[in-house]
């Protein structure tokens, strides 16, 4: 029979399980320990007081038997003592001997001579006796002495010794029984507490498992606990919470999708506006030049100038379109392990041959043994090219471009430093956006392309720049 179950729990959900607490810290153990202890203490107190009462009753029974017996002895031997009838006195002691627990019984005259005794060897011996009736206990025996008086005169003494061994064993048995009862109470209490705790914690475990699954993202989880006790009510509250969590999550998801759609549209709009803006000027120049060339009476000098404008502006249009295609067509990175030094040296070699690098000293600092990292070689070549090109374009006259590849904790850092014009503050914040450029001939796509490629490598560009001092652009790759 199972009144408790988990519904709609997909088996594939795999989230970190909470560490199991040690047995002594579990609610189950603590509950069991406290119930068992309370049970044992209460039962123990009760049983112990019962054992005490029973022991007292056993002891009182022996004392009362002993007193009755010694009184009987005294009464039965008074006449025989007065008549000095040793035979009757011996008969009295023999009858006493047959009673249970009697160890010794003796009748003594006023001088202390033993007239009759259960132990025949004692007869005729003289004993020293106290003046009054006494009862003493010790060494497994209870000793009673009673004086026999006639008309106020002491005529003799009776002496009785009873064994307390039987009493002791009865007391021990009662005590053992009591201890057994306490032990039994402890065991029964523990078992009862265990069953109780099992019942309570089983439901708590179901709740815990459901909470864990919610934590791992499965918001469809619900628990079905019978709503009869507090844990059942907790289950109901849990379900209500999961319900509203699921509803809120769906709303958030919905909002998020709407926002991303809006952002995507805004981005497309922005990009289209930027492209239109970028190509409008060169296109107007091309159109005006074509109109000029169309005139039949155009002087040869103007014709040459119009052709030159056509040439530069169509090249500019081509560059804008090529850069934009590079930006739009960035494919998924195919990361592989490889040497960054070799790649940087290769790009540096190409940059040195670039017309704008004629007066620039290009240097590479690299430790080839510590420069292996995960990267897409073709894409990384483009990143390094774009960054080096920006650097040499920022050096107006003579200058220096330094590329450093160094190994840090778990990464290979590539930094490109120049002592060129630097980037003004107003440009620095938006420099990564497409079509943001600070140069007349620029398209503003070089850094955006580099940034997008690096993001696919799990890293980003960082730029430190000071106007008229220089710029350092760097990024980290995962070392291998
Ligand atoms: N190393 C640098 N030194 C100075 N300015 C730079 C440097 N790198 C980039 N910039 C600035 O950032 C702008 C954007 O660069 P980029 O995205 O490559 O586009 P583009 O080079 O086509 O202008 C550049 O126009 C330039 O103003
Ligand atoms: Mg550039």
Alpha-carbon distances, residue 346 vs 79, 154, 381, 384, 468 (angstroms): 142, 138, 9, 10, 29
| Architecture of the domain delimited by 20-216 | 2-Layer Sandwich (3.30)
Closest ligand by atom to 416 CA: 1
| Architecture of the domain delimited by 330-478 | 2-Layer Sandwich (3.30)
The answer on pLDDT for 14 being more than 50 is no
Find out whether 214 and 248 touch, Cβ atoms under 8 Å.
no
Mean pLDDT of 10-26: 59
Q: pTM score, two decimals?
A: 0.51
User: Other CB atoms closer than 10 Å to residue 187's CB: what's the count?
Assistant: 13
Find out whether 75 and 109 touch, Cβ atoms under 8 Å.
no
Q: Do domains 20-216 and 330-478 have the same CATH topology?
A: no
The answer, yes or no, to whether any atom of ligand 1 lies below 6 A from the CB of 157, is no
What pLDDT, on a 0 to 100 scale, did the predictor assign at position 382? 94
CA of 122 to the centre of ligand 1 (A): 133
User: Other CB atoms closer than 10 Å to residue 476's CB: what's the count?
Assistant: 20
Listing DSSP states for 175-215 in one string gives HHHHHHHHHHHHHHHHHHHHHHHHHHHHHHHHHHHHHHHHH
Q: Write out the two tokens for 256.
A: 């998020």
Closest ligand by atom to 421 CA: 1
What pLDDT, on a 0 to 100 scale, did the predictor assign at position 334? 95
Angle between helices 377-393 and 446-456 (to 10 degrees): 150
Mean pLDDT of 324-343: 91
Q: Write out the two tokens for 298.
A: 């155009």
Distance CA 401, CA 394 (A): 10
What pLDDT, on a 0 to 100 scale, did the predictor assign at position 166? 86
The answer, yes or no, to whether any atom of ligand 1 lies below 6 A from the CB of 415, is no
**Category of 357 on φ-ψ map: left (φ > 0), alpha (ψ -120 to 50) or beta:** alpha
Distance CA 371, CA 476 (A): 11
CA of 467 to the centre of ligand 1 (A): 13
Reported as a single tens digit per residue, the pLDDT across 368-411 is 888 999 999 999 999 999 999 999 999 988 899 999 999 988 99
Atom of ligand 1 at shortest range from CA of 432: 17
The answer, yes or no, to whether any atom of ligand 1 lies below 6 A from the CB of 105, is no
Listing DSSP states for 268-294 in one string gives HHHHHHHHHHHHHHHHHHHHHHHHHHT
The answer, yes or no, to whether any atom of ligand 1 lies below 6 A from the CB of 161, is no
The answer, yes or no, to whether any atom of ligand 1 lies below 6 A from the CB of 438, is yes
The answer, yes or no, to whether any atom of ligand 1 lies below 6 A from the CB of 394, is yes
Residue with tokens 């850069």: 323
CA of 456 to the centre of ligand 2 (A): 20
Mean pLDDT of 30-46: 83
Reported as a single tens digit per residue, the pLDDT across 101-145 is 999 999 999 888 999 999 888 888 887 655 545 556 666 788 899
The answer, yes or no, to whether any atom of ligand 1 lies below 6 A from the CB of 382, is no
What pLDDT, on a 0 to 100 scale, did the predictor assign at position 64? 93
What pLDDT, on a 0 to 100 scale, did the predictor assign at position 392? 96
Considering only CA atoms, which of 76, 108, 78, 104 is closest in space to residue 92?
76
- Spans of all domains in the chain: 20-216, 330-478
């Amino acid at each position: 029979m199972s009144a408790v179950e988990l519904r709609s729990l997909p088996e594939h959900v795999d989230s970190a399980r909470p560490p199991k607490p040690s047995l002594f810290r579990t609610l189950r153990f603590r509950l069991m320990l406290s119930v068992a202890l309370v049970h044992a203490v209460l039962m123990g107190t009760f049983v112990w007081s019962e054992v005490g009462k029973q022991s007292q009753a056993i002891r009182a029974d022996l004392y009362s038997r002993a007193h009755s017996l010694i009184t009987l002895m005294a009464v039965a031997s008074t006449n025989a003592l007065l008549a000095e009838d040793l035979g009757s006195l011996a008969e009295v002691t023999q009858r006493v001997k047959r009673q249970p627990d009697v160890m010794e019984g003796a009748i003594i005259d006023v001088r202390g001579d033993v007239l009759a005794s259960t132990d025949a060897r004692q007869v005729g011996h003289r004993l020293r006796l106290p003046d009054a009736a006494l009862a003493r206990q010790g060494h497994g025996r209870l000793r009673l002495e009673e004086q026999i008086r006639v008309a106020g005169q002491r005529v003799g003494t009776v002496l009785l010794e009873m064994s307390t061994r039987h009493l002791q064993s009865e007391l021990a048995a009662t005590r053992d029984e009591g201890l057994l009862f306490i032990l039994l109470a402890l065991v029964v209490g523990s078992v009862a507490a265990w069953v109780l705790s099992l019942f309570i914690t089983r439901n708590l475990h179901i709740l815990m498992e459901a909470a864990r699954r919610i934590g791992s993202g499965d918001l469809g989880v619900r628990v079905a606990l019978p709503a009869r006790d507090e844990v059942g009510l907790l289950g109901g509250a849990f379900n209500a919470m999961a319900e509203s969590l699921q509803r809120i999550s769906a709303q958030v998801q919905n909002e998020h999708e709407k926002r991303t759609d809006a952002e995507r549209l805004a981005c497309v709009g922005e990009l289209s506006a930027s492209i239109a803006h970028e190509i409008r000027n060169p296109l107007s120049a091309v159109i005006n030049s074509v109109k000029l060339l169309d005139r039949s009476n155009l002087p040869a000098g103007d014709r040459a100038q119009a052709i030159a404008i056509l040439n530069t502006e169509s090249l500019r249009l081509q560059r804008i379109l090529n850069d934009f295609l590079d930006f739009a067509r960035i494919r998924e990175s195919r990361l592989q392990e490889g040497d960054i030094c070799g790649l940087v040296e290769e790009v540096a070699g190409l940059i040195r041959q670039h017309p704008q690098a004629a007066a620039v000293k290009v240097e590479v600092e690299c430790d080839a043994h510590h420069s292996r990292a995960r990267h897409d070689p073709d894409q990384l070549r483009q990143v390094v090219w774009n960054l080096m090109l920006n650097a040499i374009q920022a050096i107006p006259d003579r200058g220096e471009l330094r590329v450093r590849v160094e190994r840090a904790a778990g990464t290979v850092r590539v930094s490109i430093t120049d002592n060129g014009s630097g980037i003004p503050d107003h440009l620095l914040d938006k420099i990564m956006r497409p079509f943001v450029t600070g140069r007349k001939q620029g398209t503003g796509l070089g850094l955006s392309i580099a940034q997008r490629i690096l993001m696919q490598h799990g890293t980003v560009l960082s730029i430190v720049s000071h106007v008229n001092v220089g710029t350092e652009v760097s990024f980290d790759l995962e070392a291998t």
